[in-house]
Structure 1
Amino acid sequence: MIELKQLRKRFRGRQVLQGIDLSIERGHRIALIGSNGAGKTTLIRCLLGEYRFEGEVLLDGVNPRVQREQVLAKVGFVPQLPPPLRMPVGQLIRFSSSLCQSDPKQIHGLAAELGFDADKFRSQPFVKLSGGQKQKLLIAIALGRQAEILVMDEPAANLDPAARKVFFQILAEKKERSAMLISSHRLDEVASLVNRVIELDQGTVILDDRVADLVDMSSSLSCKVGLIQPEPAFAQAIGDWGFESDESGRIWNGSIPGPDRLRFLALLSRYAALLASIQMQETPDAA
């Protein structure tokens, strides 16, 4: 589906990508990890045909530099940084859907599921939206097309927990028929979403490993957290996840998306001295 052969990219004499060879098939969900400057974003930009490069890049046998429009019709892309577009929301949705002959109603529907009312903001310039609103709309545009290849750069960084749950459920629906490339600085943010990990360092692949595909992306966990004593800072942090406490403020109940379990445990670890008990159990119905 995606073939990279001896991919090289140089900026002002500096070799950013150094002869990368990769093959990515349908059903592969890849975490592309590495520190800043490792080459992750440059690789993605080459895949999208935005950069000139040495070597060969093919998406379903098509060169993204030569037949860019044909390639972009197959790709759903979520950038790390939202572009500074002044185009109104409604116009942006119509324009994006026209590029791949998709239905704008599909994008509106996905945006609503993620918690963004695109119709309400149809006249609002994209650049005036909040960070979370921009991210939800960009995800809806990328996933609202029948894209066979999903390329996402820190896709859930600005999403609230409720939107993250919907996002994971949408990805679960697409996992068998699409290839996914998810770029992140931190493996724990995306570990539960992927079945393959590729790590870059100074433009070179230093790790390409298949991982256990055990987490259902549409799964949900019911959670109960007990505290030694109430703590306002903890109440604020866990309240953002939709948890509710009993009258004592020491027992908190809620649910989290299955793929977010590591992220949730990282939150709890910040309050380790307060914790009396943690119970997590997968629920049979993720809806």
Structure 2
Amino acid sequence: MIRINGLTKRFERRAVLDELTLSLDAGDRVALIGSNGAGKTTLFRCLLGHYRYKGEVGFEGAGATRRDMSLLSRVAFVPQLPPPLRMPVGELLSFAEKGAGADRARMLDISGKMGIDLDEVRSRPFYRLSGGQKQKILVTVALARAADLLIFDEPAANLDPAARAVFIDLLAERKDASMLIASHRLEEVAPLVNRVIELDRGKVVLDDSVVDRLKAGAFRSCRIGIAEPHPTFANALAEWGFTGTDTLFEGRIPAGDTLRFLGLLSRYASLIERLSFETGDE
């Protein structure tokens, strides 16, 4: 579906994306993880044509131009920070319906489930809404579109717990779309995805498939090497039963807890120099 080759994006002299190469197939549901500054949001913006970049980004069935309209019409995006739109909510919803193909009945259904009354906020400027209200509306619009690819950048960050649970359920219902989800709550999106990709300093440092074929009792042996001693990280690994030296750790985790464990590792991505997994049985 998407082929990325040698993607490089610099801000001043710093490479936020550094010769990044990656392929995403139709049907892939990817959890994109990594510390702040790893390049997740920049990757999304390049895919959407918001930035100029070096390298190649190809989208199946789209033209070669950076902002090909046939591509943008097939992608729904929810940013980490809602844009400061001054238009009334009703005007935004009308634009989403007429300009982006969002289904009106679907928007009403989704917004109700998310806990926001569109009629109540319809006349209010979007930028005057609370952070949670803005996020609920953006999620509503994105999920009401018949998009081939859904891109979410920390989409649940401003949602209350009830809305967050509904959002995850709504994503699970979308069997027709590929997804790229950047989230610090890996444990929440784990049931939705079939692949985990970790970025660090603009490069892919982990690309792991999530498989359902592992037998009960299966586990993964893991070796982790870090750049320098880090007592907090060592204590976190000790809680998983890992042992080792100050910079090299070994242990094993239940295969079904792989994503939860990767969520832990993502918080220390800048420390990790070596990471390997092997699968076995009890």
TM-score by length of 2: 0.71
Task: Give distance in 2, aligned partners of 1:213 and 1:133.
Answer: 36
Letter in 1 for 2:195: R
TM-aligned CA deviation for residue 186 of structure 1:
4.7
Task: Give distance in 2, aligned partners of 1:141 and 1:174.
Answer: 14
Native 8 Å contact 2:111 2:118 kept in 1 = yes
Task: Give distance in 1, aligned partners of 2:93 and 2:64.
Answer: 23
Instruction: Specify the alignment match of 2:62 in structure 1.
Output: 62
Mark the CA change 1:165 to 1:64 in structure 2 (over 3 Å): closer, same or farther: farther
Letter in 1 for 2:210: V
Task: Give distance in 1, aligned partners of 2:119 and 2:211.
Answer: 41
Gaps of 5+ in 2: 214-258, 261-282
Q: Deviations over 1:50-79 (max 9, x none)?
A: 001111112223257444322221111111
Matches within 5 A, 1:84-123: 84-123=84-123
Write out the 4+ residue segments of structure 1 that deviate beyond 6 Å after TM superposition.
none
TM-aligned CA deviation for residue 213 of structure 1:
4.8
Letter in 2 for 1:184: S
Letter in 1 for 2:59: L
Give the count of matched residue pairs: 216
Native 8 Å contact 2:196 2:206 kept in 1 = yes
Instruction: Specify the alignment match of 2:210 in structure 1.
Output: 211
Native 8 Å contact 1:200 1:206 kept in 2 = yes
SS at match of 1:44: helix
Native 8 Å contact 2:153 2:182 kept in 1 = yes
Q: Residue 201 in 1 paired to residue 200 in 2?
A: yes
Mark the CA change 1:58 to 1:97 in structure 2 (over 3 Å): closer, same or farther: farther
Task: Give distance in 2, aligned partners of 1:63 and 1:135.
Answer: 31
Q: Deviations over 1:112-157 (max 9, x none)?
A: 1211111111101111111111111000011110011000011111
Instruction: Specify the alignment match of 1:227 in structure 2.
Output: none
Mark the CA change 1:165 to 1:131 in structure 2 (over 3 Å): closer, same or farther: same
Native 8 Å contact 2:32 2:40 kept in 1 = yes
TM-aligned CA deviation for residue 165 of structure 1:
2.5
Native 8 Å contact 2:199 2:205 kept in 1 = yes
Instruction: Specify the alignment match of 2:270 in structure 1.
Output: none
Instruction: Specify the alignment match of 1:167 in structure 2.
Output: 167
Mark the CA change 1:162 to 1:186 in structure 2 (over 3 Å): closer, same or farther: closer
Task: Give distance in 1, aligned partners of 2:196 and 2:77.
Answer: 19
Instruction: Specify the alignment match of 1:20 in structure 2.
Output: 20
Task: Give distance in 2, aligned partners of 1:63 and 1:19.
Answer: 22
TM-aligned CA deviation for residue 163 of structure 1:
1.6
Which stretch has the larger CA shift, 43-52 or 187-196? Answer: 187-196
SS at match of 1:123: coil
Native 8 Å contact 2:34 2:40 kept in 1 = yes
TM-score by length of 1: 0.70
Letter in 2 for 1:38: A
SS at match of 1:133: helix
Q: Deviations over 1:18-59 (max 9, x none)?
A: 111111122211111111111111000000000011111122
Q: Deviations over 1:89-118 (max 9, x none)?
A: 110011122223333332222111211111
Gaps of 5+ in 1: 215-261, 264-287
Instruction: Specify the alignment match of 2:38 in structure 1.
Output: 38
Native 8 Å contact 2:102 2:142 kept in 1 = no
Letter in 1 for 2:179: M
Task: Give distance in 2, aligned partners of 1:65 and 1:185.
Answer: 32
Task: Give distance in 1, aligned partners of 2:48 and 2:190.
Answer: 24
Q: Residue 75 in 1 paired to residue 71 in 2?
A: no
Which stretch has the larger CA shift, 108-117 or 36-45? Answer: 108-117
Cα-Cα RMSD: 2.1
SS at match of 2:151: strand
